[in-house]
Amino acid sequence: MSSIKQFQVTFDCAEPLRVARFWCEVLGYVAPPPEGFATWDDFDRSQPEEERGSWCACTDPSGVGPRLYFQRVPEGKSVKNRVHLDVRVGTGLVGEERLAVLEAECTRLLALGAVRVQLLYDGTDSCIVMQDVEGNEFCVD
């Protein structure tokens, strides 16, 4: 049996382009339009009206991270995510040094439209639970 070499993370959402743009800013990803189109707006104009804005994908420009795919769904978010992303900015740091790095990243993400939910801190280890622009939970850790 061969092993899987690539995977993508899929987000169900109401506004795929908006959520994709948020995550591009968070992660330094890019969202190139589909081949043959200069912009996502150009691509959308080529689609039937009911399909416009129905999906968007973004990728890690270094090719290391997974592709993120955002698809429009009719239902809204109703419960806590069972899977979430961790934005890892404090790897290898502990205590107050780690907390300061996490707080700085939290401040940057708040300016992008994220919402701070809570700080989890036990004196040594810490993370900040946040929500993206559509309420999907993620951690800054």
- Note the pLDDT tens digit of each residue in 79-125: 888 889 999 999 999 888 999 999 999 999 999 999 999 999 887 78
Cα angle at 132 between 119 and 116, to 5 degrees? 25
Q: Are residues 104 and 59 in the same domain?
A: no
Overall average pLDDT of the 23-27 stretch: 97
Q: Is residue 52 part of a domain?
A: yes
Q: Are residues 99 and 50 in the same domain?
A: no
Overall average pLDDT of the 14-23 stretch: 96
Q: Are residues 108 and 60 in the same domain?
A: no
In this prediction, residue 79 carries a pLDDT of 86
Q: Is residue 78 part of a domain?
A: no
Kind plus residue range of the DSSP H or E element containing 99? helix 95-111
Q: Are residues 42 and 92 in the same domain?
A: no
**CA distance linking residue 62 with residue 66, whole number of Å:** 10
Q: Is residue 107 part of a domain?
A: yes
Q: Are residues 13 and 65 in the same domain?
A: yes
Q: Is residue 102 part of a domain?
A: yes
Q: Is residue 117 part of a domain?
A: yes
Q: Residue 113 is part of which domain span? A: 86-140
Number of domains observed in the structure of the chain: 2
Half-sphere exposure of residue 64, counting CA atoms within 13 Å on the CB side?
3
Q: Is residue 80 part of a domain?
A: no
Kind plus residue range of the DSSP H or E element containing 129? strand 126-131
Q: Is residue 34 part of a domain?
A: yes
Q: Is residue 79 part of a domain?
A: no
Residue 137 in 3-state DSSP? strand
Of 58-62, 74-78, 121-125, least confident by mean pLDDT is 121-125
Give the pairing of strands 8-13 and 67-72.
parallel
